[in-house]
Amino acid sequence: MTIGILLPNSTTYPLISYNFIAGLKGCLGQLAPALLPELHTSSIGFGTDQMQMLKEAQDMLLEKNADILVVFADHPVVECLFPLISSLKKLLIIVNTGAKYPPVKLQPYVIYHTLNYALHCRLTGKFAAGLSNKAVNATSYYDGGYSLCHGITDGYTSNGGEIVFNFVSKFKADEFDISPVSDFIQANPEVRAILAVYSDLSPVFYEQLAQKFPGTSLNIFANPAMLDEIHLPEDEDFSLSMTVNACLPWTANIQNAENISFCNAFKASSGRLPDAFAALGWDTGVLLMNYIMTSAENPLFKIKQVLAHLFNLEMNGVKGVMSVDRKTHQVLSPAYRVKLEAGNELIVGEVVLHDEVLQEWTEICTQPAGEFVSGWINTYMCS
């Protein structure tokens, strides 16, 4: 079997493609030698050029005769591949961070395997509403262009919380100034919660917050990206005065056998610590392994029969037990409520199990954001 993989570039995450493909290869390496697929990779830049993406996909599917295409990209650009995939009746797996709400329309040969960041923001917002009934919403011009802000604020307000102040910062670190937030909180001492959606500006957000509120207890409810290792507070004692909570799709501290094996294998092969993109790659490998083994065991199956079998499975991944939602072809797995502790250690608390995650996903799909969707076309953090 031959698999084509289209990979992105990112200035925010220079290792995004390397870690994703290392995770994927590490997982597929568990297959019997006779089942090992041939892999072909190609770059699609920031994933914003439809012509480039379609050209690379055509080369993979028509010239290299790939049976499966894995594309690290996002809507709306990736939609240019749908007619080609439909006509060839080959599997397309779309991977990304899940920072945008996907289209509702089902594509029969497409599976969405993302980190579901928007869904996790919604879960974080609901969790925040149970702890505080008033909050500041803080984001940047760039991060605010995705579905993350809608997810966290909608989860918060739909459960009784009230957004009492909105702050949208500039998107350059040397222009970042949190004074409007600090001025508001100092004038309104009953407000101690901040819903925060940042990526590469996270360290400066944490730093200025600590400077403005020394010794003041604040509750921060964060976007998953804010707890990526490269985005954690530079002062590792930050959490002694500030509480940072989030719902994550993955952390190295998840104690299941698959994740422990993945973390050890990734560190041994790459010499680097694993991150969420490597975990996404490994679990994409889990999907591919099950597809490959089903095809090998049932050589007369056509693609829809193989997919039907795949959709009936519960698969053990590093993120936990994964399944594919039949109505949307979205891969779902547990969510993990984590808290930032001293030394920038993430402590896993409650696990949000599959049924609750599915309920949140169903609510997102049945209540489309509509006018709350921006025109951002790149994959989150591929910029």
210-237 confidence digits (pLDDT tens): 999 987 889 999 999 999 999 999 998 8
CB 213 within 8 A of CB 183: no
- Give the chain's domains with CATH numbers: 2-115+254-332 (3.40.50.2300), 118-248+337-352 (3.40.50.2300)
Q: What is the model's pLDDT at position 373? A: 67
Structure-block tokens of residue 336: 């993990």
Amino acid in position 65? N
Q: Count of CB atoms within 10 A of residue 259's CB?
A: 23
Q: What is the model's pLDDT at position 372? A: 63
C-alpha distances in angstroms, 184 versus 137, 180, 192, 212, 317?
Answer: 12, 6, 11, 12, 44
Q: Which of 103, 83, 107, 105 is nearest to 93 (CA)?
A: 107
40-94 confidence digits (pLDDT tens): 999 999 999 999 999 999 999 999 999 999 999 999 999 999 999 999 999 999 9
